């Protein structure tokens, strides 16, 4: 388990404040013993308490861009919490331990497992997992062979989080090898699962506990850590406790007497703030950042000098630099110092030390090289790999990767140095319509946004635009989407087409009345489809045999079903046979297709000679081959031209001169496919109305055509481009889709981008009907603005964004006790539901005031010139030293007025009149230092007079 609470510097600063008197001691005590070190990977507030008078500078987790705020490591799986409280998982999933609703054996990259519940903590066991929600609810999932899910009876594997019944509100959790632990908000300990070695602390060993059992007789604990078969804890006084398997001295009670069946005090006198437990060894950190270790040292995992014998009691390591956070793996140990250095030691048989040196054991804490500043490290008591989180919320992993638990894209041999986890994209497919956008996420879920008066966004509410990406609830898993005009299509994993939106010309394809369809509706045809395409008023699809089907409006032969102008076809109708097609795309009132031999076929209206079959002529009402001899691999068609890529990546185009991309002007036409003069090798091409987009081998975006609405994405807007030109050299994209007035893409970074007109919010960046178009690729959901952080409904002050995942705020005044912290924020200018962090901050009432001590009989020291009035040495009760670093912060914040006394407690105090508040001694009308000064001046004056008189007498 990992500990990463407030910086040790803050704790040491609190201890130093003891010299400030009784109130100073009370304040320091509050800081040292009342702030529990979390027993799990938890989203922290730093500090988590302060005086009722307010003025505490607090670092708060806030929504960020796909960043992680916490990690947990199991035997072969990894969990993370993002800034919006969602749990993600990767690695082994044979028992459902990832919680994503499946038993997919392995997830090779992070996969979102939960939504709609804000989690603040996670813990990973051998093949099960635990989550702690902001409201104190406990959830478990995965393997339940020993009752480790705590659900009251041995159950089959739980594939999704299930709330554990009959437990109070929980504040901290920990997971060992097939058992779980939780602390309630009063410090009470609950345990369940495997108990063969007494690890549950119930006074006996043997059969598992199938539901959480309260451990009677235990003190109130503030932190816990679960090893493989033993447990460590710290009580409110800072004393260490331990119980469970003691086969290698890991309990630390100084004797080798077998299993310890109930909590046993290991140290007294306080002074400890953190613990971590491995398979057979234990670690702890004291208030000064000193590191202690005990238990098995076969592989050097204790890091103690001398022999590899087990240590039966805690032994100090004597490190020069104080330790900030610790974690224990099965046979190795990790730490981060207050200077940000990552230390690793112990067994390296699976490269879990990350030092790039191979498999040799390391017997002393040794620094490893990291590419980024890591602020928290994590391993697990049954884990042979390691994970870490950097100051930007990105995840790094190293060690065993047999089940893809490193999250780097594929299971592999052990990785011996930290590598960044591959990010999963929020959306894996995205399509731009006329005034709306549709996407599919990695779970096959549909999302929609933009114009919705005809139901095109698919969210069912109609009328007003959908201002940011919104989930469309449909009982299917989708693999492909298409959008055009004001209707949309989607293809599920059974080959069924779904349609919705505007349907006055039957373009939805459900055969119903010509009314708008507000939510996705399955199109029953009995045919397995493999691809779909949407035009402004008609639609098309390919079936599994390579046949083309069309439906919707047939004004100019665009359905390709024979004699043109037949009106409306409200359901899919097969129009080809005998030729195997691999792609079909629709332009306005026309279509283009590609057969298996790479030949291009077109049909429909020949506006601007876009059919590519010679001089302009009337409509073509059946698919007609227009090329041969050149093998094409990609095609698309706009309202005025066609475009294709051949097998070498060369660009071909025809139709309207401006859109062809050869430098021609509007009014000039190319009537057959022409090879572009550009020698760039392209990998993808897309067009819809008056702009064409392409991607090269480096993922750079190229664009040409009209740019009235910024649809070229070149940062200029309104200026046409006649030849293919790189639009944004800094963006790298994996896929593109051009809409009528806007365009969308998925980047190589896994993020989604949009640009162009936003009058109906179709770019996903909020309402823009009164703003200029988005003229460069803009990351959807990429700009998060924190508007306020409230404490029981009262906004804090001096709000400052520190990073993607952290902000700093100064607390207002509040009532004593726990207060609910709420973060209000915008994504791309649109308000999102507030983040409810729960009762995460405690207001501490100041202790009763005491009389001023008697004045110092010695003359007080005057302040230096210009230093202002004397400062009281009495600190404000409970006021944390906010000028000291917080978890994950490299920054320091200036002390507020309430901190000045605490920071100057070592100065000689000046006497302060409690009635007037000035620096004069009571009863005097002058400062107390003036009297002795006047005496000295008088004596000097007298001495000078005596000397002058003596000199006059001598001259006589």
Q: How many domains does the chain have?
A: 2
- Is 335 a domain residue? yes
Same domain, 327 and 452: no
pLDDT at 854: 52
pLDDT at 867 over 50: no
Strands (E), 638-738: 641-646, 651-656, 669-675, 682-687, 691-696, 701-705, 721-728, 733-738
The answer on 380 and 503 residing in a single domain is no
> Token digits for 784?
């998060």
- Separation CA 661–CA 511 (nearest Å): 40
pLDDT of residue 839: 75
Q: Does 666 fall in a domain? A: no
- pLDDT tens figures, 309-360: 899 999 999 999 999 999 999 999 999 999 889 999 999 999 999 998 777 8
Based on the domain organization, do 456 and 364 belong to the same domain? no
Q: Which of 420, 450, 469 is the last residue of a domain?
A: 420
Of all residues in the chain, the percent with pLDDT exceeding 90 is 50
Q: Which of 790, 848, 786, 788 is nearest to 814 (CA)?
A: 790
Which two structure tokens, joined as six digits, stand for 883?
A: 């000028």
Given 501, 517, 536, the domain boundary residue is 536
| Per-residue pLDDT tens over the stretch 831-854 | 766 777 777 799 999 877 655 555
φ and ψ at residue 730, rounded to 5 degrees: -90, -20
**How many Cα neighbours within 13 Å face the side chain of 308?**
10
Residues 179 and 239 in one domain: yes
Annotate 796-825 with b (16+ C-beta within 10 A) or e (fewer): beebeebbbbbbbbbbbebeeebbebbbbb
Residues 451 and 380 both lie in one domain: no
Q: Where are the beta strands (DSSP E) in 710-783?
A: 721-728, 733-738, 742-747, 752-756, 774-779
- In which order are the strands placed within the sheet that holds 230-235? 221-226, 230-235, 240-244, 260-265
pLDDT band of residue 181 (cuts 50, 70, 90) is very high
**Is there a single domain that holds both residue 398 and residue 434?**
no
Return all residues near 890 (Cβ < 8 A) that are at least 6 apart: 340, 373, 391
Would residue 654 count as lying in a domain? no
Q: Smallest Cα–Cα separation from 472: which of 517, 508, 533, 502?
A: 517
Measured torsion, CA atoms of residues 812, 817, 823, 824, in degrees rounded to the nearest 10:
-70
Selected residue with higher pLDDT from 467 and 903: 467
Instruction: Label each residue of 149-166 as H, E or C.
Output: CCCCCCCCCEEEEEECCC
Whole-angstrom distance, CA of residue 87 vs CA of residue 97: 12
Tell me what pLDDT residue 30 has. 23
Burial grade of 523 (CB within 10 A; 0-12, 13-18, 19 or more)? buried
- Higher pLDDT residue, 139 or 485? 139
Q: How far apart are CA 525 and CA 532, in angstroms?
A: 14
Long-range contact set of residues 447-453: C-beta below 8 Å, sequence gap at least 24: 447/471, 447/472, 448/472, 448/488, 449/761, 449/762, 449/764, 450/760, 450/761, 450/762, 450/763, 450/764, 451/486, 451/760, 451/761, 451/762
3-class secondary structure, 943: helix
Cβ neighbours for 935, distance < 8 A, ≥ 6 positions apart: none
Instruction: Give the pLDDT of residue 573.
Output: 94
pLDDT at 257 exceeding the cut of 50: yes
Q: Is residue 73 part of a domain?
A: yes
Q: Do 406 and 466 belong together in one domain?
A: no
Closest CA to 893 of 55, 202, 107, 252: 55
User: Can you tell me the distance from the alpha carbon of 816 to that of 820, in angstroms, rounded to the nearest whole number?
Assistant: 12
Q: What is the pLDDT of residues 26-43, one digit of tens each?
A: 222 222 222 233 334 455
pLDDT tens by residue, 225-245? 999 999 999 999 999 999 999
Q: Dump the DSSP string for 228-294.
A: SSEEEEEETTS-EEEEE--TTSTT-SSS--S-EEEEEE---S--EEEEEE-SSEEEEEETTS-EEEE
Q: What is the model's pLDDT at position 560?
A: 95
Domain boundary among 506, 536, 566: 536
pLDDT of residue 943: 65
CA 492 – CA 445 distance, rounded (Å):
10
Same domain as 497, residue 372: no
Contact 74, 34 (CB under 8 A): no
Structural domain includes residue 895:
no
941: confidence class by pLDDT, cuts 50, 70, 90: low
CATH number of the structural domain spanning residue 360: 2.130.10.30
Reference 367, options 406, 311, 320, 414; nearest CA is 320
Q: What range does the domain containing 348 cover?
A: 66-420
The predicted-structure confidence for 477-524, as pLDDT tens digits, reads as follows 999 999 998 999 999 999 999 999 999 999 999 998 889 999 999 997
The percentage of residues in the chain with a pLDDT greater than 70, rounded to a whole number, is: 79
Q: What is the DSSP string of 127-192?
A: SEEEEEETTS-EEEEE--TTSTT-SSS--SPEEEEEEPPS---EEEEEE-SSEEEEEETTS-EEEE
Q: Give the residue with greater pLDDT, 18 vs 614.
A: 614
Q: Has residue 399 got a pLDDT over 90?
A: yes
Residue 443 lies in a domain: yes
10 Å Cβ neighbour count for 102? 15
Distance CA 424, CA 747 (A): 11
Task: Identify whether residues 253 and 196 lie together within a single domain.
Answer: yes
Q: Is the pLDDT of residue 451 over 90?
A: no
Please check whether residues 416 and 432 belong to one and the same domain.
no
How far apart are alpha carbons 808 and 195 in whole angstroms? 43
Q: Are strands 374-378 and 385-390 parallel, antiparallel or unpaired?
A: antiparallel
Q: What pLDDT was estimated at residue 781?
A: 60
**181 is a domain residue:** yes
Whole-number pLDDT of residue 936: 61
CA dist 289 and 325 (Å) reads 9
Residue 736 lies in a domain: no
Instruction: For residue 765, name the pLDDT band (cuts at 50, 70, 90).
Output: low
Q: 444 and 401 in one domain?
A: no
pLDDT-based confidence at 115, cuts 50/70/90?
confident
Mean pLDDT value across residues 577-594? 96
Q: Is the pLDDT of residue 677 over 50?
A: yes
Four-CA torsion 601, 603, 607, 613, nearest 10 degrees? 40
In the three-class reduction of DSSP (H, G, I as helix; E, B as strand; rest coil), residue 659 is classed as helix
pLDDT digits 0-9 by tens, 279-304: 999 999 999 999 999 999 999 999 98
If you average pLDDT over every residue of the chain, what do you get? 81
Residues 765, 829: Cα–Cα separation, whole Å? 7
Same domain, 163 and 128: yes
The DSSP-derived string for 597-614 is TS-EEEEE--GGGTT-SS
Could you tell me the two tokens for 34?
């009342």
pLDDT at 853: 55
> Bridge-partner residues for 72, per DSSP?
79
């Amino acid at each position: 388990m990992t500990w990463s609470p407030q910086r040790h510097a803050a704790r040491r600063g609190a201890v130093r404040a003891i010299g400030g008197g009784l109130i100073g001691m009370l304040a320091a005590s509050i800081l040292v013993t009342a702030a529990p070190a979390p027993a799990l990977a938890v989203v922290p507030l730093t500090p988590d308490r302060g005086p009722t008078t307010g003025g505490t500078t607090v670092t708060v987790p806030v929504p960020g861009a796909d960043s992680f705020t916490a990690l947990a490591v199991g035997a072969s799986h990894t969990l993370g919490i993002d800034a919006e409280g969602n749990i993600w998982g990767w690695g082994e999933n044979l028992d459902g331990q990832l919680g994503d609703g499946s038993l997919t054996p392995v997830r090779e990259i992070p996969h979102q497992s939960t939504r709609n519940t804000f989690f603040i903590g996670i813990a990973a066991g051998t093949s099960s997992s635990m989550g702690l929600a902001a409201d104190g609810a406990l959830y478990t999932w995965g393997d339940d062979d020993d009752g480790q899910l705590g659900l009251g009876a041995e159950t089959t594997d739980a594939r999704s989080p299930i709330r554990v019944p009959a437990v109070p509100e929980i504040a901290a959790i920990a997971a060992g090898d097939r058992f779980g632990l939780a602390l309630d908000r009063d410090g009470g300990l609950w345990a369940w699962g495997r108990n063969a070695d007494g690890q549950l602390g119930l006074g006996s060993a043997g059969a598992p506990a199938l539901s959480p059992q309260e451990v009677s007789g235990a003190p109130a604990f503030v932190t816990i850590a679960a090893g493989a078969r033993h447990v460590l804890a710290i009580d409110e006084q800072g004393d260490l406790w331990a119980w469970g398997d003691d086969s290698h001295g890991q309990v630390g009670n100084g004797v080798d007497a077998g299993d310890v069946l109930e909590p046993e005090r290991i140290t007294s006198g306080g002074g400890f703030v953190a613990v971590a437990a491995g398979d057979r060894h234990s670690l702890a950190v004291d208030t000064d950042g000193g590191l202690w270790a005990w238990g098995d040292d076969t592989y050097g995992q204790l890091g103690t000098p001398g022999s590899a014998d087990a240590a039966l009691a805690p032994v100090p390591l004597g490190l020069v630099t104080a330790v900030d956070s610790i974690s224990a793996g099965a046979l190795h140990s990790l730490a981060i110092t207050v200077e940000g250095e990552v230390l690793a030691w112990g067994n390296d048989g699976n490269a879990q030390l990350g030092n790039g040196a191979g498999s040799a054991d390391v017997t002393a804490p040794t620094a490893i090289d990291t590419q980024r500043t890591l602020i928290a490290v994590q391993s697990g008591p049954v884990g042979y790999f390691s994970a870490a989180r950097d100051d930007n919320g990105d995840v790094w992993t190293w060690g065993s990767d047999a089940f893809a638990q490193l999250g780097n894209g594929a299971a592999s041999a052990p990785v011996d140095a930290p590598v960044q986890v591959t990010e999963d994209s929020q959306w894996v497919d995205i399509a731009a319509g006329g005034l709306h956008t549709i996407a599919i996420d990695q779970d096959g879920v549909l999302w929609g946004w933009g114009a919705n008066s005809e139901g095109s966004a698919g969210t069912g509410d109609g009328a007003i635009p959908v201002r940011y990406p919104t989930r469309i609830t449909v009982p299917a898993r989708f693999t492909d989407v298409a959008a055009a005009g004001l209707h949309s299509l989607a293809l599920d994993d059974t080959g069924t087409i779904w349609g919705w939106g505007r349907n006055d010309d039957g373009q939805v394809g459900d055969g119903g009345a010509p009314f708008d369809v507000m939510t996705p509706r399955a199109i029953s045809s009995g045919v397995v489809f493999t691809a779909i395409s949407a035009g402004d008023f008609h639609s098309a699809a390919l079936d599994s045999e390579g046949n083309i089907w069309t439906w919707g409006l047939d004004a100019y032969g665009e359905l390709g079903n024979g004699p043109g102008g037949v009106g409306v076809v409200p359901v899919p109708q097969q129009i080809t046979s005998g030729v195997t097609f691999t792609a079909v795309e629709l332009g306005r009132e026309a279509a283009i297709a590609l057969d298996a031999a790479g030949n291009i076929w077109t049909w429909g209206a020949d506006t601007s000679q876009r059919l590519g079959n010679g001089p302009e002529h009337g409509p073509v009402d059946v698919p007609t081959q227009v090329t041969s001899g050149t093998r094409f691999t990609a095609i698309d068609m706009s309202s005025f031209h066609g475009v294709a890529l051949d097998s070498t990546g060369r660009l071909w185009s025809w139709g309207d001169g401006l859109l062809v991309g050869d430098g021609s002007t509007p009014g000039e036409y190319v009537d057959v496919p022409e090879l572009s003069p550009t020698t760039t090798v392209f990998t993808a091409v897309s067009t819809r109305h008056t702009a064409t987009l392409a991607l090269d081998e480096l993922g750079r975006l190229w664009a040409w055509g009209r740019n009235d609405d910024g649809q070229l994405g070149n940062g200029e807007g309104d200026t046409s481009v006649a030849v293919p030109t790189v639009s944004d050299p800094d963006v790298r994209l994996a896929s593109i889709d051009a809409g009528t007035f806007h365009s969308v893409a998925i980047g190589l970074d896994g993020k989604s981008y949009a640009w162009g007109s936003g009058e109906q919010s179709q770019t996903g960046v909020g309402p823009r009907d009164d703003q200029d178009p988005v003229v460069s690729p803009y990351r959807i959901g990429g700009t998060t603005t924190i508007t306020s952080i409230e404490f029981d409904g009262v906004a804090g002050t001096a709000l400052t964004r520190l990073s993607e995942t952290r902000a700093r705020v100064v607390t207002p005044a509040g009532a004593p006790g726990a207060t609910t912290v709420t973060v209000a924020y915008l994504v791309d200018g649109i308000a999102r539901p507030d983040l409810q962090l729960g009762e995460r901050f405690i207001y501490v009432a100041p202790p009763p005031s005491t009389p001023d001590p008697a004045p110092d009989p010695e003359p007080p020291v005057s302040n230096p010139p210009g230093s202002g009035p004397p400062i009281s040495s009495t600190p404000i009760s409970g006021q944390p030293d906010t000028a000291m670093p917080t978890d994950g912060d490299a920054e320091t914040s200036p002390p507020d007025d309430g901190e000045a006394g605490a920071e100057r407690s070592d100065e000689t105090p000046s006497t302060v009149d409690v009635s007037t508040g000035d620096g004069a001694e009571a009863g005097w009308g002058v400062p107390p230092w003036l009297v002795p000064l006047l005496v000295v001046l008088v004596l000097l004056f007298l001495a000078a007079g005596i000397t002058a008189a003596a000199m006059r007498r001598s001259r006589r």
